[in-house]
Chains A and B, each alone.
Chain A
């Protein structure tokens, strides 16, 4: 089979690229390991449409993020939950920013922040200051459905679900890619949008893997009531944690820097002990953590304690379930926690582009390269 463009991965990056290329009239194949789109990081994350508040140490990152924020909200208005108050708080211990600095930073970047009484939501002992800000949550399913719909509308995009990428070779101006079911696809252009499998795909195509650290992350779904129902809270620095609406699902997501990652791997091709229990998941190809028989047990007891310590009384939450996904973290980005999205063109003819995304709404970075 021959296509104009082969896209590996049907997360938000893969699907967005498919709509972009399909609209240009190119014949596109999206090959996805899972049986459907959005089964990994594009679903399993905090659903935060970043507005820049996270980057008080990098104004340039914050400025760009704010721009992408406006665009994402305009493109997916139906998928955005705006009906809650977004509160950012500064931890009183171990915080690298203080209230005055934070306000100045927000003013500089042009993102709203108004100081509020911290004790309305937090235990004032551990929180130095709290700000009402503007930041929304996106609904992964609504984004997925709209992207799938747009891809279908172009009439140019085919999907191959359950794809098992075996190997790839260059044949003149095209890549010839072999899949597990015996299928062979030829395309003059390939996009690697496989996120946690980026390095694995790179090495199958004969490129150098990147310096990545992998973390098995747990996003906890909780049910909340009272004042927390209409609020999303993020405590910055110190014991960084966050509880906020998970899109339009009615649940909140609960995450923290200390307890969300369960295990990490510093190998370029990820090695985890739990892979011994799942023959499908290897350093050569990661399987889905969320449906894995060897997935970790929940860290909810720890997270719940942390929340209890930081939040005002009467903000209890009930456990609903856990979602697991692997987060790849570019090692160079750890120092300034800027979490950039890297789009690299590794070959011109045939064309090979690889993307390692840092955030959902930086998906527009793809336009510059495709």
Chain B
């Protein structure tokens, strides 16, 4: 029996050309065997490989609409997925942050079944697949954040339409969906799954680092605190070192240098930190579009079926006759 809901499935890819066909087939099989209606949305984040044409040829034979959103340059995960969310029309929406995620169909189904018991947001967390760095990161952010975030690595998420609407209407320019969903206040549940392979985001480390920095700045005031702390401790440290060297150096030259360098490094750190916050304000004020789309392609259910040689699935109710007047 299929669930009588409309489900959207959004997946992110950057240069995933070789893998999209297999991914689409698997997701389409799962969705069409579980739900009455579905659409798949692929967000192609500035791929330089053949991703777009691979998606087009993989649309053949799919059982629902496939929408390809092409972004003209690389935006990064969060803006790209937001583009997908804006396009989606489903009552429930799966968000998969990488097409490399291999989470089993049974688990995806369990996510939906959990959602309908009263959780607007259900997240899939790979068991024991977290890398050291992401474990440390989440420990850190959960500790320093002023919001009660309870964040972990999530590779796939299912959200209800009302949770998505609430999340999208939060005006923040820097969008970290995981935290924004929590801010909506809708009930959330994390489900563990055993991933056959080690979960990797597939992004280079510097992008992860960038995202991590954004999250820390966006959801905690640790930066401000660090500035206060640093300015105090550097002053004390500078004085201590000065004292230590005072007896050995006749001219006092080293002491002054150490003092100066400590103070300047502290100052630059503070400036850097302030710069981050000012950048944030600038971005909010500029009101630039959050993402730019170069094209959207809809591969309709009809066209997908026709390409696979299944044309004109006759339905009794799609008959229309001239209204009698």
- A residues engaging B (CB < 8 A)? 43, 93-94, 123, 125, 141, 216, 221, 239, 248-251, 258-259, 261-264, 272-274, 276-277, 290, 292-299, 301-302, 305-306, 308-309, 319-323
CB distance from A337 to the nearest CB of B (A): 15
User: Does residue B306 face the partner (Cβ distance < 8 Å to A)?
Assistant: yes
* A258: chain B residues within 8 A (beta carbon): 67, 296, 298
**Binary contact readout B312-325 vs A (1 if CB under 8 angstroms, 0 otherwise):** 11110111111101
- C-alpha spacing A298/B37, complex, angstroms: 12
Contact, CB under 8 Å: B321 / A277 = no
Contact, CB under 8 Å: B165 / A125 = yes
Contact, CB under 8 Å: A259 / B315 = no
Contact of B293 among A94, A251, A319, A320 (CB under 8 A): A94
- C-alpha spacing A301/B303, complex, angstroms: 16
Interface-lining segment among B12-20, B86-94, B221-229: B86-94
Contact of B300 among A263, A273, A308, A322 (CB under 8 A): A263
Contact, CB under 8 Å: B90 / A305 = yes
* B325: chain A residues within 8 A (beta carbon): 141, 248-249
CB distance from A309 to the nearest CB of B (A): 5
User: Does residue B302 face the partner (Cβ distance < 8 Å to A)?
Assistant: yes
- C-alpha spacing A263/B311, complex, angstroms: 11
- C-alpha spacing A292/B169, complex, angstroms: 44
Contact, CB under 8 Å: B318 / A273 = no
Contact, CB under 8 Å: A297 / B320 = no
- C-alpha spacing A296/B300, complex, angstroms: 10
User: Does residue B301 face the partner (Cβ distance < 8 Å to A)?
Assistant: yes
Contact, CB under 8 Å: A322 / B318 = yes
User: Does residue B168 face the partner (Cβ distance < 8 Å to A)?
Assistant: yes
User: Does residue B160 face the partner (Cβ distance < 8 Å to A)?
Assistant: no
CB distance from A296 to the nearest CB of B (A): 4
* B135: chain A residues within 8 A (beta carbon): none
- Compute the total of residue contacts between A and B using a CB distance below 8 Å: 97
Contact, CB under 8 Å: A262 / B303 = yes
CB distance from A289 to the nearest CB of B (A): 10
Contact, CB under 8 Å: B320 / A221 = yes
Q: Tell me whether A305 and B300 are in contact in the complex, defined as CB-CB below 8 angstroms, given that A293-B312, A297-B318 are known contacts.
A: no
- B residues engaging A (CB < 8 A)? 6, 36-37, 39, 65, 67, 86-87, 89-91, 161, 165, 168-169, 293, 296, 298, 300-303, 306-307, 309, 311-315, 317-323, 325
* A306: chain B residues within 8 A (beta carbon): 89
Count chain A CB atoms within 10 A of each CB in B65, B314, B322 and give the residue with the most: B322
* B90: chain A residues within 8 A (beta carbon): 305
- C-alpha spacing A142/B303, complex, angstroms: 34
CB distance from B307 to the nearest CB of A (A): 7
CB distance from B319 to the nearest CB of A (A): 6
- C-alpha spacing A301/B315, complex, angstroms: 13
Contact, CB under 8 Å: B320 / A290 = yes
Nearest CB in chain B to that of A295: its residue: B312
Contact, CB under 8 Å: B6 / A301 = yes
- C-alpha spacing A239/B296, complex, angstroms: 11
CB distance from B37 to the nearest CB of A (A): 4
* B39: chain A residues within 8 A (beta carbon): 302
Contact of B318 among A125, A276, A302, A321 (CB under 8 A): A321
Count chain B CB atoms within 10 A of each CB in A239, A248, A305 and give the residue with the most: A305
* A299: chain B residues within 8 A (beta carbon): 65, 300-302
CB distance from B132 to the nearest CB of A (A): 38
Task: Show 9 residue pairs from A and B whose CB-CB distance is below 8 angstroms, ordered by the A residue.
Answer: A43-B322, A263-B302, A274-B306, A277-B311, A277-B312, A297-B318, A298-B315, A319-B317, A321-B319
* B317: chain A residues within 8 A (beta carbon): 298, 319, 321
Contact, CB under 8 Å: A296 / B302 = yes
Contact, CB under 8 Å: B311 / A239 = no
* A294: chain B residues within 8 A (beta carbon): 311-312
Q: Tell me whether A263 and B91 are in contact in the complex, defined as CB-CB below 8 angstroms, given that A249-B325, A322-B320 are known contacts.
A: no
Contact, CB under 8 Å: A293 / B314 = yes
- C-alpha spacing A299/B65, complex, angstroms: 9
CB distance from A313 to the nearest CB of B (A): 11
- C-alpha spacing A320/B317, complex, angstroms: 8
- C-alpha spacing A277/B318, complex, angstroms: 17
CB distance from B221 to the nearest CB of A (A): 29
Q: Tell me whether A276 and B6 are in contact in the complex, defined as CB-CB below 8 angstroms, given that A263-B302, A297-B302, A322-B318 are known contacts.
A: no
Contact, CB under 8 Å: A259 / B320 = no
Nearest CB in chain A to that of B315: its residue: A297
Nearest CB in chain A to that of B314: its residue: A293
* A274: chain B residues within 8 A (beta carbon): 306, 311-312
Shortest beta-carbon contacts, A-B, top 7:
A321-B320, A294-B312, A296-B302, A273-B306, A305-B89, A262-B302, A301-B37
Contact, CB under 8 Å: B312 / A262 = no
* A263: chain B residues within 8 A (beta carbon): 300, 302-303, 306
* A261: chain B residues within 8 A (beta carbon): 298, 300
* A301: chain B residues within 8 A (beta carbon): 6, 36-37
- C-alpha spacing A203/B311, complex, angstroms: 28
CB distance from B301 to the nearest CB of A (A): 7
* B318: chain A residues within 8 A (beta carbon): 295-298, 321-322
CB distance from B309 to the nearest CB of A (A): 8
Nearest CB in chain B to that of A298: its residue: B318
CB distance from B85 to the nearest CB of A (A): 10
